[in-house]
Amino acid sequence: MAGEPQADCLFCKIVAKEVPATIVRETDTTVAFRDINPQAPTHVLVIPKVHYPDAASLAAAEPQIIADILAESREVAAEDKVEDRGYRVVFNTGAGAGQTVFHAHLHVLGGRGLQWPPG
């Protein structure tokens, strides 16, 4: 069921503290942790504690949680001291966009120049 933890979801297991992660922030609705394959000096994933397969389904069902994730991205950038230099936030929605874990998540990237368009 949408919103419920999924037994086979890596990010649900991180939320449940069943799988270790380098958690940098946690709120009532979100968890932020360092990416295991960072693409920039700051590369943190901000995820909802509820399970939805992608950002689009989360936004349709629980738009306040999408807002919470975006607000946390700013907090992550501030704590990593990239807020003033600039940072990028990215939701990949679907395999064609590069999503590999099908639990909605936002990437916070910063600490180096980020070219446009991305690769």
Backbone angles phi and psi of 40, in degrees to 5: -160, 165
| Degrees to nearest 5, angle at CA 92 with 86 and 97 | 120
Cβ proximity of 106 and 89 under 8 Å: yes
- Give the active site residue among 43, 51, 103, 105: 105
CB 89 within 8 A of CB 72: no
The answer to whether 105 is a known catalytic residue is yes
Residues recognised as catalytic: 105
